[in-house]
Structure 1
Amino acid sequence: MRPQTLADVAFPKTIKSFVRRAGRVTTGQTKAFDELGPKFLLPYQPETLDFVAAYADASSSRGLNDAQAQPLVLEIGFGMGEATAHIAALLPDTHFLCCEVHEPGVGALLKRIGEQDLHNIRICAHDAVEVIDHMLPERSLDGVHIFFPDPWHKKKHNKRRLIQAPLVAKLAARLKVGGYIHCATDWQPYAEQILEVLSAEPLLKNTALDQHPELLGYAPKPHYRPLTKFENRGIKLGHGVWDVVFVRHA
Structure 2
Amino acid sequence: MTEPSRGFRERPVSFVRRSGRMSEAQERAWRELSPRFVIPVARDVAATSILPGSAIDPGATFGRSARLVVEIGSGQGHAIVHAAASDPATDFLAVEVFRAGLARTMLDADRAGIGNLRLVEANAPEVLQHLLPAGSVDEIWIFFPDPWHKKRHTKRRLLAPEFPPVLAAALRPGGVVRLATDWEDYARQMREVMDAASGFVRDFPGEWAERYDGRVLTAFERKGTRVGREIRDLAYRRDGIGG
TM over 0.5: yes
CA drift of 1:39 comes to 1.0
Change in 2 beyond 3 A, CA 1:86/1:155: same
Q: 1:231–1:84: structure 2 CA closer, same or farther, 3 Å change rule?
A: same
> How far apart in 2 are the matches of 1:8 and 1:125?
15
- Shift in Å at residue 15 of structure 1? 4.2
1:219 CA displacement: 0.6
Equivalence for 1:177: 173
Q: How many residues align?
A: 227
* Cα distance in 2, alignment partners of residues 104 and 180 from structure 1: 28
Trace 1:40-189 onto structure 2 (pairs within 5 A).
40-45=37-42, 46-56=53-63, 67-68=64-65, 70-189=66-185
Q: TM-score, normalised by structure 2?
A: 0.88
What is the aligned partner in structure 2 of residue 18 from structure 1?
15
Match of 1:202, SS? coil
Asked whether the equivalents of residues 44 and 131 of structure 1 are also in contact (C-alpha less than 8 Å), the reply is no
Of residues 222, 247, 250, the one that matches 2:237 is 247
Q: Is the 8 A contact 2:14 2:145 kept in 1?
A: no
Judging changes above 3 Å, is the alpha-carbon distance between structure 1 residues 48 and 8 closer, same or farther for their aligned structure 2 residues? closer
CA RMSD in angstroms comes to 1.7
State the secondary structure of the residue aligned to 1:29.
helix
Moved over 3 A (4+): none
Q: TM-score when scaled to structure 1? A: 0.86
The amino acid that maps onto 2:164 is V
AA aligned opposite 2:75: G
CA distance in 2, matches of 1:104, 1:233: 21
For 1:37 and 1:232, the matched residues in 2 are separated by 30
Question: 1:208 maps to what in 2?
Answer: 204
For 2:168, the aligned partner's letter is A
Q: Which runs of 5+ in 2 are unaligned?
A: 43-52
Quick one: distance in 1 between partners of 2:11 and 2:180? 24
2:222 partner letter:
N
Identity %: 38
Going by fraction, where is helix more abundant, 1 or 2?
Answer: 1
The DSSP-based 3-state class of the residue aligned with 1:183 is strand
Offset, 1:8? 5.7
Cα offset for 1:13? 2.4
Residues in 1 aligned to 2:188 and 2:203: alpha-carbon distance in whole angstroms: 16
